[in-house]
Structure 1
Amino acid sequence: MCRYWDISLVICFSLMFVGVENMPDQMPPPKNLMYTWRTPFTLYVKWEKPEDLDPTCTVNYTVTIFEGQFQHIIQTSNNFYSMNLSNKDGLNFSVTTNPGNCGNKQSSPPISFAIPPPPVMLVRNLNCIYYSKDKMMCTWDPDDDDAQDLDFYWLHGEESVKCSSYIHENMKIRGCNITSEDFKSKTDDMFYMAIGTYKNSTVINTFRMPGPYQSVRLNKPKFTIKRNGRNLLLQTTRSGFEHLDESCFSYNYTYVKCNETTSARVNTNIHSVEYDPICKYKARVKMEFEENCGAGVIEESDEVEYGEDRDPNLPVLLVFIFIAVFIFACLIGCFVLLRRHKDDLLPKIPDPSQFFKENISNIKTSYTAPSLYEPKEEPVESLSLEPQTQLLKDHMPRTLEYNV
């Protein structure tokens, strides 16, 4: 703060002492430059038109304001100007007369004044973030000589709104939660004020901060990976600010496929990548604001994994393993069936050696010759034949016997 104030003072006093006497071809400077604070935020400055001007000469004015590290340059034809400013680093104000149709006249030397910064800063390191469509949060570090009656305000239009929800830490006020439906449509800077008592005097600190969309803070988005046919869909769902158009964000996807890292920046919340079933995927996403929509910090998503790393020769190996297991199972089945039906499929053949051993043993103990064939006696019947004629009877023997 001191550095900016010192530089501003040098510039201001340089402008005040340069060109005290007007050169013949210069316009006279304005007269009676004065200022007043109409509100804690609004500085009102006025001056008078230079004297001894030709009635036909028209003029306008250049107003230059040094607000800490900011410089504002305004052209106006009026002899007054008002503007919302921060007094945190002090102010330097100068006005210059510019010729209209005044011949070859040049701009006048400036007339200036300086406003010193407050004697003490009631809050230090003020930081405000926009984290929802209607919510902001401002936090700060309290000064060592923190005012016990500290109040915090923010400027809403032309009205100063007092904080209604303070954040406390160690018995000290460390922040304020602010709610307004107007945040989602506000594009210009925000103004804040801290007011309190210091050494029996009222101290006012005013601050200029970037508008809501220049100080966005989004929590990490939800990130998922889903299979869709031959592709994987990397999908992001932002946490908050659903009212903003999708074109306000870009998505930086980083994914690891089989230990190979790839990045892709796209403008949609869904990104498709080719799926390889033998690879394990690890992916995350980082959202960013597009320049025309705002700026801020968005946390990176958690890393999500999908699939497993596999050997590229695994399918062939699995086929060989399956065939080997199948053949082994068939052999086991055949062996079981063979044992179950071996008597039917393979009749038992006597062991020749055992047969010979038994016969030799029987011969040694007792030998019985096989019995000879004894024919059976056949029955015999006697037959007698007598001739039917006398002639035959005479020539035939008396008796013929046949054995049958």
Structure 2
Amino acid sequence: MTGTPGLLAAFTFCAMLTVSRCDAEYQLPPPTNLSYVWLDNLAVNMSWSWEKPESLPDDCKIKYEVRVQATPHQEITKRPESRERVEHCITEDTDSDHCTFTVHAMVSEKSCNWSQSTDVTETARREEPRVELVKEFKCLLELKGLNCSWIPLTSQNLQLSYRACVSGTNKKDSLKACGQPYSTGTRNGCYWHVAQGWEDASICIYIESEIGWSFFKPTIGPASPVLTITEEENNRLKLTWSSPEFKNLCIWIYELCYKECDEPEQCWEHTHELSDQNDTLLHQSDMPHKRDCHYEFRSRLKTSGKDCPELVSVWSEIVTYGTNKTPDRTLPLVAIIIPIILFVCILLACYCFRKHSHIICPNIPDPSAIFKEMWNGNKEHNKAEHKTLENVYTPMPEAVESCKVTLINQSGALQPNS
């Protein structure tokens, strides 16, 4: 009995070693010959081979798990039925210029007691760089198809193609080249006769040149609505716009944004459903109007609904109405300035009257004082005249000497006076 615990421990240790050896022996071998082929500029065909171990039972079915990483933040896990997988490696994400495939084999039944194989990784990368080749790319959905236009950023010849933005091996997902290019001023464009239907509305554009390539998903929508503004009575503005030119069963939302005077922009939406009967109907709305304000309007159309694709038109050109006028402040200014001026004038008048009151309002003398003053004035005048005569200067008499004349005769002798 004393040797039973030791025997049990030895048996358990041997069993663990046996299980560990079994796990190592029953691990599936990894896939081999993992390789890829570019089917076109976007799609990659990844294939691999795998050798079945001789000890693997026939009833243990093998399946493969493939992890596809197109961008650092996008990884998809798939389980293809065959040893081949076609993937649209390049996406509209700007970080997408390669794909990393990670493949391993695994059994479908847990009872087979075989663990999955180790991972095998391969990266499919484009040799040409991904660059920006165009700007202001716009696509309008019209009756005759898709009308796309852009402004080129390089003088190199550009080759444009498009396909649906979905993965798959269907023929319709292959790239379709531009069949009707055109040019208007600084913008170039292309017409694509896409099939009528919403599945063709979500498309991706591929552009190739000698310096690189570009791939993106453009915004698709109808032409911008044309807005007409008229003024009505009671200070209201009447807004009129037309429906898109093509018919569909989607719900369209008309979005209008406007600025009033210097206030922030305001937006509102008008929802209407198009049908065969009202597809050319003009839609109307009105809004209050301030005559002293300048208005700026811009609008666009977009779809709404569970079964409808996301279509959004570009914003229309800004439509202006009215002008900003300065309010008439004449009466308030007059009511304030005139009393101030009158008050100042009264203050100045009072000051001048006080300062020159002896001139403006002299004292009236007493008549008796006037005569008295006249009498006293005459006496003083006579005294003053007498004093003036006394003070007149009188010259002193001068001494006069007598004069003697002496005659001289012809001989020159003096003759005495007689």
Q: What residue in structure 2 maps to residue 215 of structure 1?
A: 219
Q: What are the within-5 Å matches in structure 2 for residues 67-216 of structure 1?
A: 67-68=70-71, 71-86=75-90, 89-103=97-111, 107-119=116-128, 124-126=132-134, 128-133=137-142, 134=145, 135-137=147-149, 140-142=152-154, 146=156, 151-155=159-163, 157=172, 160-166=175-181, 176-182=189-195, 185=198, 186-192=200-206, 194=208, 207-210=214-217, 215-216=219-220
Alignment partner, residue 257 of structure 2: 253
For residue 273 of structure 1, give the secondary structure of its aligned residue in structure 2. strand
Q: What is residue 237 of structure 1 aligned with on the other side?
A: 241
Distance 1:193 1:246, change over 3 A: closer
Task: Please list the CA deviations of residues 244-296 of structure 1 after superposition, one character each: whole Å capped at 9, or x if unmatched.
Answer: 66734341333538x766734223364433467x7657352333635764265
State the superposition RMSD in angstroms: 4.7
Question: SS of the residue aligned with 1:132?
Answer: strand
Shift of 1:130: 0.9
Distance 1:231 1:295, change over 3 A: same
Amino acid of the residue matched to residue 153 of structure 2? D
Unaligned runs of 5+ in 2: 1-22, 165-171, 272-282, 329-418
Partner of 2:268: 265
Distance in structure 1 (CA, Å) of the matches to 2:160 and 2:219: 19
Pairing 1:356-371 to 2, within 5 Å after superposition: none
CA distance in 2, matches of 1:96, 1:117: 24
Offset at 1:115?
2.3
* TM-aligned CA distance change 1:164 to 1:248, over 3 Å: same
> How many Å apart are 1:223 and its aligned residue?
2.1
The separation in 2 between residues aligned to 1:169 and 1:261, in whole angstroms, is 36
Structure 1 CA distance for aligned equivalents of residues 134 and 263 of structure 2? 43
Asked if the contact 1:90/1:117 (under 8 Å) is kept, the reply is yes
Q: State the Cα distance separating 1:68 from its structure 2 match.
A: 4.5
Return closer, same or farther for 1:78/1:299 CA change in 2, 3 Å cut-off.
Answer: same
Name the aligned partner's letter for residue 44 of structure 2: L
Given that residues 178 and 192 in structure 2 are in contact (C-alpha distance below 8 angstroms), is that contact kept between their aligned partners in structure 1? no
Q: Which whole-Å deviations, capped at 9, do the CAs of 1:206-239 have from their partners, x for residues lacking one? A: 65432xxx51366653223345665735535369
Q: What is the aligned-residue identity percentage?
A: 12
Partner of 2:318: 302
Equivalent AA in structure 2 for residue 113 of structure 1: E
Q: 1-side partners of 2:236 and 2:114: how far apart?
A: 72
Shift of 1:36: 2.1
The answer to whether the 8 A contact 1:32-1:48 is kept is yes
Distance 1:279 1:184, change over 3 A: farther
Contact 2:201 2:220 in 1 (8 A): no
Aligned residue identity for 1:163 = C
- Within 1, Cα distance between the matches of 2:205 and 2:115? 37
Partner of 1:8: none
Is the partner of 1:142 in helix, strand or coil? coil
Q: Give CA-to-partner distance per residue, 1:90-132, whole Å, 9 cap, x none.
A: 33222233432134655443212122322456x6334543123
Counterpart among 62, 66, 80 of residue 65 in structure 2: 62
1:6-63 deviation digits (Å, cap 9, x = unpaired):
xxxxxxxxxxxxxxxx967865433332322334443222223452243222343332
Give the structure 2 partner of residue 35 of structure 1: 36
Unaligned runs of 5+ in 1: 1-21, 199-204, 313-404
Compared with structure 1, are the counterparts of its residues 36 and 283 closer, same or farther at alpha carbon in structure 2 (3 Å cutoff)? closer
Name the CA shift for 1:137/1:55 in 2 (closer, same or farther; >3 Å).
farther
SS at structure 2 position matched to 1:124: coil
Are the aligned partners of 1:60 and 1:99 in contact in 2 as well (CA < 8 Å)? yes
- Equivalent-residue separation in structure 1 for 2:109 and 2:154 (angstroms): 55
Q: Structure 1 pair 274/159, CA: closer, same or farther in 2 (3 Å)?
A: closer
- Measured against aligned partners, the alpha-carbon deviations of 1:126-185 in whole angstroms (never above 9, x if no partner) come to 454312322123554338xx5x7x644444825554434556799xx9955132233763
Contact 2:298–2:315 (CA under 8 A) maintained in structure 1: no
The count of corresponding residues between Structure 1 and Structure 2 is 274
Distance 1:167 1:187 in 2: 21
SS in 2 for 1:34: strand
User: Which residue does 1:14 correspond to in 2?
Assistant: none
Cα distance change of structure 1 residues 271 and 74 upon mapping to structure 2, 3 Å threshold: farther
TM-score, with structure 1 as normaliser:
0.51
Alignment-mate amino acid for residue 294 of structure 1 = E
Which amino acid letter does the alignment assign opposite residue 209 of structure 1?
F
Structure 1 residues 132 and 187: alpha-carbon distance in aligned structure 2, compared to 1, 3 A threshold: closer
SS of equivalent to 1:55? coil
